[in-house]
Copies of this chain bind each other. A is one copy, B any other.
Amino acid sequence: MTVLEPAGVHQAWLPPEAFRAIGARRALVLGDGPLAGTVRDELAQACARYGGSVRPGGDLASADGGPYDLVLAAGAGESLPAVAAAVRAEVRSLGAEIGGEGFVLARRDGVTVVLADEPAGLLYGLFHLVRLGEAAFEDTIAVEHHRPALRLRMLDHWDNVDVHPVMGQVERGYAGGSIFWRDGALRDDLRRVRAYARLLAACGINAVAVNNVNVHTTEARLLTDRLGDVAAIAGELRPYGIRVHLSVDFAAPVTLGGASTADPLDEDVRTWWAETTERVYDTIPDFGGYVVKADSEGRPGPFAYGRSHADGANMLAEALAPFGGVVHWRAFVYDHRQDWRDRSTDRARAAHDHFAPLDGLFGDNVILQVKHGPIDFQPREPVSPVIAAMPATRVAVELQVTQEYTGQQRHVCYLAPMWSEVLGFRLSGPAGPSVAQIAGGAAAHHGRAAHGAAAANGAVSNGAVSNGAVSNGVAELDGTAQTYGGGGLVGVSNVGDDDFWTGHPLAQANLYAFGRLAWAPDADPAAILDEWIGLTFPAFPPDMTGGPDRPRSVLHAIMDDSWRTYERYTAPLGVGFMVRPGHHYGPDVDGYEYTPWGTYHFADRDGVGVDRTRATGTGYTGQYPEPWSQVYESIERCPDEVLLFFHHVPYGHVLHSGSTVIQHIYDTHFAGVEEVVRAQALWAGLAGAGSVPPALHARVADLLDEQLRCAREWRDQVNTYFFRKSGVPDAHGRRIW
């Protein structure tokens, strides 16, 4: 297999130069099966370019015929080169399993060794070497054990097959059309899907759902007569260890099967799903499973039949179980026809109200897919209490890589710092598990033995992330982790047929970081970014020692804090929304204030914010375990950044920061815009440096113009809105229109 790069498409974090170090070595690959073949092909391609060589066969008997610089070996075969055999012996002496997707790295006697139990581990090991570059072939490396913290590391594509009249080819897509679908059909040329699979494997993703969770008429048929399209995509993803999943229409027995009901307890319905699922596995034996948005924003679901979400999910789970498939059942269920006059209903409560009572009722292969916050992917939300509320349920956490509410890939907004906060958040306090540990479930638990090894092996040059797959919290999980069935991490993809994959070239970093955080949730977002910079811009000098004007430092200065910059110039203090209805881009402070969507800020001439306390509000704070239940309830203890999410306060309320709410609004909005101005100047300084390709530089420069325009619009609208309401002038006398 040769990876054919689609013409004109940016190579993201896998430019040929990324393979320079491994491509210059003499390599031996031992292992069977397609994934080992992929590793061999990748190495062969790199070696053809950079002068190395790869011993193609699995001929273990002659494997010791060196010399080699690099050995990658999968499986239990004993005929390893001596240096590799020694590494394996050491691993065994530690009593650790390498695990299905894990690998061991070591370097001794001038040979770099990667060992895996399964070929998938070998593939991840290969891309680990790509990240390390020359560092993988320099000093001795003591045994490092790498394995993913989360077993399921998945991207959901909200791609439509037919162009939707309102939502387009990709719902909430900001990077052009779908890479899978075009105008109602599978694309003829799937080379780009293969290239995508390669990028995903290189950051650790192992599952992709290929169609929108809002399953429209044409898309529903992917399950049946258009299954061949899905199989074709699966064929492109498979060589990179990625399983395909499908969003399905809960009403499919009616809409596709001609039945009169989709009642999950109806025998004919169950039979229809069983038979349909069997046909899916006949066609795609490694099919991953179904994704379901049911009884949500108008989609069909079990409520129509008086059944519970557990009834609905379990029916599908039963159909999938014989084949090892899973159901991702989304918890995004709320009343989207709420009356804004009704101050007692609270959309933030909805998922917990619906699902917490069902804990323990879901089948083993049901994964409840929960958005990270209680509302909908705002730049700042508290962590959803549902994640901690269902110890007997496998929970997946859903993040939005596509920047629906975070600048729509026209704004620089590096999201890993937000995700990192979410993944590290401990809903039950310091002694409880982190969000990542809950989503990691058994995987995190099993990984404990490996923790020592990973932690013992330190940082890598180029500022690469801490190698570990295992978060520091794992040890604490002992005894409790078993109660959490892991559901993994799911991201809504930000990719389209745009030449740069993601519209904004710098938004590639979000996709990369998503995968890396799904593998290692405790990795430092700045380190991940540095890793991405090193791969994506191979012409950059390799470190930041040259000072703040070095390209690498410039990119960090633009991106590291860009999420907080975005937060500063948009909706303040966690109150959320204030976006233009429908497309959700740009400001409209009252845009959702009198709508049925349940997203309000209740600003009047005296104050702003939503009272979600038990004492006087909607009682949402009561959905949290201690200590957060008390912290959020208290207007004094509540963190500033989510104050208006939990409390309605006067404009003169003094924050922990010492500022009043109204002055905070003014200050952050002026500051946010200034930060964009600085980013623009920094980026301009990279022009003509030879290290950023001109087309990429121009694209980002154009988008920074738009970001600045839009940030000013946010600043001025928000400041004017609150000045008109409050009458309080800016303490610093700046211009408020």
> A interface vs B, CB < 8 Å?
165, 340-341, 580-582, 587-591, 594, 603-606, 713, 716-717, 720-721, 723-727, 737
- A654 CB, nearest partner CB in chain B, Å: 22
Q: Are the C-beta atoms of A725 and B341 separated by less than 8 Å?
A: no
> Besides A594-B721, A606-B727, 10 other CB < 8 A contacts?
A165-B165, A580-B581, A582-B582, A590-B721, A594-B720, A604-B724, A605-B605, A605-B724, A605-B725, A605-B726
Q: Are the C-beta atoms of B582 and A588 separated by less than 8 Å?
A: no
Given A165-B165, A588-B590, A590-B588, also A341-B605 (CB < 8 A):
no
The interface residues of chain B lying within 8 Å CB-to-CB of A723 are 604
Which single member of B588, B594, B605 contacts A717 (CB below 8 Å)?
A: B594
- A651 CB, nearest partner CB in chain B, Å: 11
Q: Return the chain B residue nearest A580 by Cβ.
A: B581
- A499 CB, nearest partner CB in chain B, Å: 24
Which single member of B165, B340, B727, B737 contacts A341 (CB below 8 Å)?
A: B737
- A400 CB, nearest partner CB in chain B, Å: 24
- A611 CB, nearest partner CB in chain B, Å: 15
Provide a sorted-by-A list of 27 A–B residue pairs whose CB atoms are within 8 angstroms.
A165-B165, A340-B737, A341-B737, A580-B581, A581-B581, A582-B582, A587-B594, A588-B590, A588-B591, A588-B594, A589-B590, A589-B594, A590-B590, A590-B721, A591-B591, A594-B713, A594-B720, A604-B723, A604-B724, A604-B725, A604-B727, A605-B724, A605-B725, A605-B726, A605-B727, A724-B725, A725-B725
- Complex Cα distance, B727 from A727, in Å, reads 13
- Complex Cα distance, B581 from A594, in Å, reads 14
Q: Return the chain B residue nearest A343 by Cβ.
A: B737
The interface residues of chain B lying within 8 Å CB-to-CB of A724 are 603-605, 725
- Complex Cα distance, B595 from A587, in Å, reads 10
The interface residues of chain B lying within 8 Å CB-to-CB of A603 are 724
- Complex Cα distance, B125 from A45, in Å, reads 89
- Complex Cα distance, B341 from A723, in Å, reads 14
- A371 CB, nearest partner CB in chain B, Å: 27
- Complex Cα distance, B713 from A364, in Å, reads 46
The interface residues of chain B lying within 8 Å CB-to-CB of A726 are 605
- Complex Cα distance, B737 from A165, in Å, reads 36
Q: Return the chain B residue nearest A163 by Cβ.
A: B165
The interface residues of chain B lying within 8 Å CB-to-CB of A590 are 588-591, 721
- Complex Cα distance, B261 from A202, in Å, reads 52
Q: Return the chain B residue nearest A603 by Cβ.
A: B724
- Complex Cα distance, B723 from A603, in Å, reads 11
The interface residues of chain B lying within 8 Å CB-to-CB of A591 are 588, 590-591
Q: Return the chain B residue nearest A590 by Cβ.
A: B590
Q: Return the chain B residue nearest A604 by Cβ.
A: B724
The interface residues of chain B lying within 8 Å CB-to-CB of A713 are 594
- Complex Cα distance, B565 from A57, in Å, reads 85
Given A165-B165, A590-B589, also A716-B341 (CB < 8 A):
yes
- A225 CB, nearest partner CB in chain B, Å: 26
- Complex Cα distance, B594 from A716, in Å, reads 9
- Complex Cα distance, B593 from A587, in Å, reads 11
- Complex Cα distance, B286 from A463, in Å, reads 80
Q: Return the chain B residue nearest A341 by Cβ.
A: B737
- Complex Cα distance, B581 from A588, in Å, reads 11
